[in-house]
Each structure stands twice: as C-alpha cells, then as structure tokens.
C-alpha cells in the first residue's frame, strides 16, 4: 500500500535529488520529454551504470517513474507538476551569487 509523504519528507527527498548536478540535469532533461536510459547516458556523457544509479535515486525519491515500452524502459517525471516546480526553482535562484557557497557546505560544495 502506498503512503503519501509528509510535506517534510517530500521536501527532503526533493532536496536530496537536487543535491547532485547529474540528477539535476536528468530532471531537467526529463522535464523536456520522457527518455530511454541509453539516450540519457549519451546526452549527459556518462556511463550507463552511473546513470542507472542516479535514476534509481530519483525513483526512490519518487520524482521519476520507469515506464515499460516493449522490451525497453522509458523514464519520465512522476508528476507533471515537478516540471513546473523545477521552472519555479530555476527562476528563484537566478538572483543567487554564483561565487557563494552554502555556509554548511562540505568540501564538495554540498549542503
């Protein structure tokens, strides 16, 4: 039985997904259109294994779904509203100075 995430759970999962540049790029790619993993790996210039790990994270966070298409699997955003949320976030962070880091950032720049 599926359980709805609390607001805090949902935001934490979204934040975890956005904490990695590859996952951010994947979300932006899938915002444009659903895609097959091989195509995504080629566009991002990463191995299929690495891509698979990132897609698994996004699936576990509830942000993308795998849709069987014949013998292949296509990935898409779990909810079309996520595309709008990504657009809103992109618009909101335009004013952030690019040379600033989160005060709690670790050596990789991740909060």
User: What does the pLDDT look like over 43-65, one tens digit per residue?
Assistant: 999 999 999 999 999 999 889 99
Distance, in Å, from the CA atom of 5 to the CA atom of 77, rounded to the nearest integer, reads 17
CATH topology of domain 17-91: Arc Repressor Mutant, subunit A (1.10.10)
Per-residue buried b or exposed e for 51-80, using 16+ beta carbons within 10 Å of the residue's own CB:
beebbebbeebbbbbeeeeeeeebbbbeee
pLDDT above 90 (res 24): yes
To 5 degrees, how large is the angle CA 110–CA 64–CA 24? 30
β-pair type (72-77, 64-69): antiparallel
User: Do 78 and 70 contact (CB within 8 A), yes or no?
Assistant: no
Task: Give per-residue pLDDT as tens, 82-111.
Answer: 999 998 888 887 665 666 666 655 554 443
Domain borders along the chain are: 17-91
For the question of whether the overall pTM of this predicted structure is more than 0.85, the answer is: no
What's the distance, CA 61 to chain centroid?
Answer: 9
């Amino acid at each position: 039985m599926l359980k709805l995430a609390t607001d805090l759970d949902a935001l934490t999962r979204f934040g975890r997904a956005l904490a990695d540049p590859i996952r951010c790029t994947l979300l932006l790619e899938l915002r444009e259109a659903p895609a097959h993993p091989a195509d995504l790996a080629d566009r991002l210039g990463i191995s299929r294994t690495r891509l698979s790990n990132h897609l698994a994270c996004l699936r576990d966070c509830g942000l993308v779904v795998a849709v069987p298409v014949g013998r292949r699997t296509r990935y898409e955003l779990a909810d079309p509203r996520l595309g709008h949320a990504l657009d809103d976030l992109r618009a909101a962070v335009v004013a952030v100075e690019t040379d600033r880091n989160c005060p709690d950032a670790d050596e990789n720049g991740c909060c």
